[in-house]
Structure 1
Amino acid sequence: MERQRSYNGRRNIDERPKNRSQCRLQRSSSLPPVARAPPPPPPPNQLKLAAMAIDLNVRLRSADMPLAMQERAIRRARALVDANNPGITKPTQVAMCLKKEFDALYGPAWHCIVGKSFGSFVTHAGGGFLYFSVDKLCFLLFKTEVRPLVKPPSLHRLKINNA
């Protein structure tokens, strides 16, 4: 039995096979079903942080930081955003406050970037990176290592062109 073809060589829509089960691939029943264990529940501290983030309308994007430090950063950022006049948040001032607080609490060399649109590619010290958003404002908080100079560079070798 030959099927009718449309003028372009394809079957018409109404010419589809009536029994769709004929078109499906047959599964091999020789393999036993694989039993998968459910994933382990997250630790209670992570659940607490997730609940707090939902409550404060915060979205955690990426983190390499202890949970206690994450919580402090998120709570402080939310307070700084709420302390400003509604709709008039100054990202530079918010970044400065968050950076100074982390410098005082966790040592020097913290950096903070706050804004609605920015790109970044940073290197950070282990355990010192957090990227999150509060409402429509994004926060990038990270720490770098500070190494003291053993010998300062000599300045007399530099050639300065006075042109």
Structure 2
Amino acid sequence: YFVRMRYAPNAEAVFAEEREDRRQPVTEEVILDGQIVHIQHSLFDMGEVENLFDEDTFTMVRTYEANPALINITFPEPRSVTGITITTGSMDFTLTVRLFTDEQAEPITYNQTYNDQPEDPTVDLSFGHEPIKALKLEVEILGFMFNKWAKIHIRELTLR
């Protein structure tokens, strides 16, 4: 027996809609340093958001078709931060962090490009010498050599 199959006439539109649905952010709550914080992130196909903050680089998350990977952290009240430490999968990438001091404020933006790093690099991005009281952080990890549907591996994220 032979079966001949073909896509429905609207298949491309259905596929595009499914891709767009997968690009919608996921919102969760986690306990971070004793506080419940809201995390909005790219869809993961592996790992849980808690893996980002468990101080264990053997646990991780992997985005599902999201480059850049996005992780937005909203605190119940402003928190002092001086930088971020992040461990990723092996890749060249740009790390961008936007800090918001209140809901109406323009972000304070920091970014750094990391090339030729060792396997599963841990990198630090400093926000200066003085702590910044941030209500919200937007973390963006853009992997080079990948398209926008790439899977970005993030092993750990630590706020300093």
Larger radius of gyration between Structure 1 and Structure 2: 1
TM-score category, normalised to shorter length: under 0.3
By relative contact order (CA 8 Å, sep 6+), the higher-ranking structure is 2
**Larger fraction in helix:** 1
